[in-house]
Amino acid sequence: MRVTNSMLSNNMLLNMNKNLKKLNSLENTFATGKKIQLPSDNPIVAGKSLKLRTNLYENGQYKTNVDDAESWMSITESAIDNVNGIMARMRDLCVTGSSETLGKSEREKVGEEIKQLREQLVQESNATNAGRYVFAGYKTDKKIMFDANVNQKTKIMDEFGTKEMEQLKVNDNYFYKLPYSNIENTIKVKIGAEDYSVGGLVYNIVEKSSSDSDAYDPPVPGAMKTIHLIKETGELVFNEAQYTTITDPIEVEYEKDGFKPGELNPIHYFDTVDTVTIGGSVGVLDASNQVSLGNIDIKEDSINTITIGGAVPGAVIYGKSTDGISPVLNEVKIDMDTGMITAGPGFAVGASVDIDYYEKINRIEDENIDYEVSKNTKMTINTQARNLITVDMIGDIDRLVHNIGNMDQQNLTEELSSMLTKIDNHSKNALKCQAGLGSKMNRLDLITARLENDKINYTQLKSDNEDADLAETITKLKTQQTIYEASLSAGAKIIQLSLVDFMR
């Protein structure tokens, strides 16, 4: 085969480019310190590198979550520790105050310090982390206890049992102290099938003042059953004869208009009721003769002025989807759980459903703030207010403060002595919260150590997978430079020959 000059030149350039490409690849490896520059250089190394980088990013996020959780828990631990200190000091004061040798002025000093401790509870309950209230569950922008007068009207739903009632010392009747005083006279009490209200014909609630001679002595139940409401103290008083017939639970619903400093924020402790104003159509009936209110937990008998296609239903049934009840003719069923309105066959598909307003219940639930601290592992970082600063704790302290200023010395001595057991119970509850929090913080320490080890391991594996051996790379680079320079030298000798050289 005849070898031409152009063939020599082309082959020389081809081989020179191959050497240059290898040299360039080694120079890039040396400059970046990485084995590959593109996924196509080595797909296996690239794939493994992506997985290891993902592991490192995840590990970093878990570490951030752990740091945030530790910060949250540290603030919580400090507040709980202070609550324990407050309870311990109150116990000491009750022991001191129960001494019969103490004079009136000394007892007043004891009462004043208890008041200050009560105010400090407000500060501890409203502890914050980065502007979020740590005991507030999901409602981190809402205070646990009010620290100023708040003009807010709230409808509250609660229940209690006979075990939570106390027997009066002046007679054998029983009373229950509501969490709030100065409530509206729209209060309703339900005991089994008995519905009590102010001015009720059979089941009556009578508003009384603590100064009334019969305030704590409601009449013996007969044709009418009566409960006394002491408005300024928020006490419900039951006749002894009625108490023996009560079946738990006792449901109570009342409105509180305005809150004072130191009072509990009801949204963290009780079911509350909101009024949802529609003032028109909520939608039209679909093919199943249904339309949704768009809310759940609808309050029974709360829908005001409902019309379908301009017509008033013959009956409005409040029920649940599981009760098996279906509306007939021109009846309407309200599913209180789902908020679904179902019209009877007497109403046409496509008819507009109009409502003035209705009420929905905001249920108090466990609002656990969970942080993912490692793969598929979540931890609840928060302590909810109602588990630490309980309704009973605040009620007992308020009652103690009130009694110190209003009881005679003998009864006050007994009251302070009986308060010791209650304070001990509240202290045990706070210690329980603290112990649970401490165990979580200890676990976070172990998780932190493991995440640090994982970071070291992932970083080493990533380095082994994608980082170049610089000593080896430099050796190869020097060798390739020599090869490239040799190819340039050889090529120069070939290219310098011309036609004139061959004609000589």
pLDDT in tens, 72-91: 999 999 999 999 999 999 99
Give the single-character DSSP code of 248.
Answer: S
Q: What angle do CA 348, 353, 359 make, to 5 degrees?
A: 145
User: Quick one: average pLDDT of 62-68?
Assistant: 95
In the numeric block, which tokens belong to residue 441? 């913080």
What pLDDT, on the 0 to 100 scale, is given for residue 434? 94
322-373 confidence digits (pLDDT tens): 888 999 999 999 999 999 999 999 999 999 999 999 999 999 988 999 999 9
In this structure, is the dihedral angle defined by the CA atoms of residues 127, 146, 429 and 136, taken in order, positive or negative? Answer: negative
The ranges assigned to domains in the chain are 1-33+475-504, 150-259, 276-356
426-437 confidence digits (pLDDT tens): 999 999 999 999
- Backbone φ and ψ for 285, nearest 5 degrees, come out as -65, 130
Task: Check: CB of residue 369 under 8 Å from CB of residue 138.
Answer: yes
The H or E element that residue 28 is part of is helix 5-32
What pLDDT, on the 0 to 100 scale, is given for residue 503? 59
Compute CA 51 distance to the chain's CA centroid, rounded to the nearest angstrom. 34
The H or E element that residue 121 is part of is helix 104-125
Helices 43-97 & 409-466 angle (0-180, nearest 10): 170
Residue 302 has pLDDT above 80, yes or no: yes
394-424 confidence digits (pLDDT tens): 999 998 888 887 766 777 777 888 889 999 9
In the numeric block, which tokens belong to residue 501? 């050289």
Compute CA 491 distance to the chain's CA centroid, rounded to the nearest angstrom. 77
Q: What angle do CA 433, 434, 436 make, to 5 degrees?
A: 65
Sheet holding 304-308, edge to edge: 166-167, 174-177, 235-238, 225-230, 203-208, 194-198, 188-191, 250-259, 150-160, 271-284, 352-362, 304-308
Residue 478 has pLDDT above 60, yes or no: yes
Give the single-character DSSP code of 185.
Answer: T
SS3 375: coil
What pLDDT, on the 0 to 100 scale, is given for residue 184? 87
Give the single-character DSSP code of 246.
Answer: -
Question: Nearest Cα to 344, choosing from 356, 354, 329?
Answer: 329
One-letter amino acid for residue 16 of the chain: M
Other residues' Cβ atoms within 10 Å of the Cβ of residue 233: 19
pLDDT band at 33 (very low <50, low <70, confident <90, very high): confident
> How much of the chain exceeds pLDDT 70, in percent?
95
Measured between alpha carbons, how far is 156 from 501 in angstroms, rounded to an integer?
Answer: 110
For the chain, the farthest-separated pair of C-alpha atoms sits apart, in whole angstroms, at: 144
417-428 confidence digits (pLDDT tens): 888 999 999 999
Sequence-separated (6 or more) residues with CB below 8 Å from residue 361: 157, 271, 272, 273, 297, 298, 299
What pLDDT, on the 0 to 100 scale, is given for residue 400? 87
Sequence-separated (6 or more) residues with CB below 8 Å from residue 490: 12
What pLDDT, on the 0 to 100 scale, is given for residue 145? 96
Task: Check: CB of residue 443 under 8 Å from CB of residue 26.
Answer: no
Sequence-separated (6 or more) residues with CB below 8 Å from residue 123: 147
Q: What is the pTM of this model?
A: 0.82
What pLDDT, on the 0 to 100 scale, is given for residue 15? 76
Question: Which residues sit opposite 335 in a β-bridge?
Answer: 319
Does 249 sit behind a cis peptide bond, omega within 30 degrees of 0 on the bond before it? yes
Measured between alpha carbons, how far is 390 from 393 in angstroms, rounded to an integer?
Answer: 5
Q: How many residues comprise the chain?
A: 504
